[in-house]
Amino acid sequence: MTRILLLGGTTEATMLARLLAEAGMDAIFSYAGRTDKPMAQPLPTRVGGFGGVAGLVDYLKAEGITHAVDATHPFAAQMSTNAVHACAEAGVPLVGLERSGWRAAEGDRWTHVVDMESAVAALPDSGARVFLAIGKQHVADFAGKPANFYLLRLVDPPKDPLPLPDAEAVIARGPFDVAGDRALMERHRITHIVAKNGGGAGARAKLDAARELGLPVILINRPHVPPRRILTSASAVMEWLDHSADLGV
């Protein structure tokens, strides 16, 4: 019997959850629990970490998981790395469901950097008005450049004061559109955008808006994840599951 663990958090994970539910497949959806109200899924859902590689190995065995799909965000490198090691140890076939990174088009003014620290270094020391489109986890890193203004976009209202002296948070959940993101940047007189190269249509709006406004973007490269099989669409994962089941994997 096939029993699937779907590590979620992305739009692609939600699409796959719908296909699995429609096909009546036995699957469990897993959220990290980073947002207060995660989107409801049409599958049994669990929330929270497994407890590292060892915890995930135990979970895979206890739940009788036969296949795992890692559809976390491309920047959720710890989870993806743990999944590679735990699935190898437990003998559970794993695929990553991953969208492509964004590529610059004519008129884009992108600077690629390798990590958050380099993104901070790439900003002016003062006077910049920065749209920090990176979520909430690494905001404090930008305290190293306190003389800039920072605009944050967060899913949930911050529970603690923002760790930056001149900052404002807008609370919104994607997908976003170019007109809305352009208006947001104009309203806040943004001069620089900092973003992760997450890929995907809804999150790309800020980059298209930046191009329209002629603004520079500091784009953070994806972190390293150990090699694993990658599929790029929910339907390709469904085919992989069908095929593996036929082979008796």
Ligand X SMILES: NC(=O)c1ccc[n+]([C@@H]2O[C@H](COP(=O)([O-])OP(=O)(O)OC[C@H]3O[C@@H](n4cnc5c(N)ncnc54)[C@H](OP(=O)(O)O)[C@@H]3O)[C@@H](O)[C@H]2O)c1
Q: Which residues bind ligand X (CB under 6 A)?
A: 7-10, 30-32, 34, 49-52, 55-56, 72-73, 75-79, 82, 135, 196
| Closer Cβ to ligand X, 54 or 147, answer by number | 54
CB of 46 to ligand X, least distance (A): 7
CB of 33 to ligand X, least distance (A): 7
Amino acid at 82: N
Distance of CA 57 to the CA centre of its chain: 23
| Closer Cβ to ligand X, 33 or 144, answer by number | 33
| Closer Cβ to ligand X, 124 or 175, answer by number | 175
Strand order in the sheet with 126-133: 109-113, 216-220, 192-196, 126-133, 147-154, 167-171
| Closer Cβ to ligand X, 63 or 242, answer by number | 63
CB of 214 to ligand X, least distance (A): 26
CB of 13 to ligand X, least distance (A): 7
| Contact call for residues 154 and 171 (beta carbons, < 8 A) | yes
In terms of Cβ atoms closer than 10 Å to its own Cβ (0-12, 13-18, 19+), residue 187 is: exposed
- Compute φ and ψ for 238, nearest 5 degrees: -60, -40
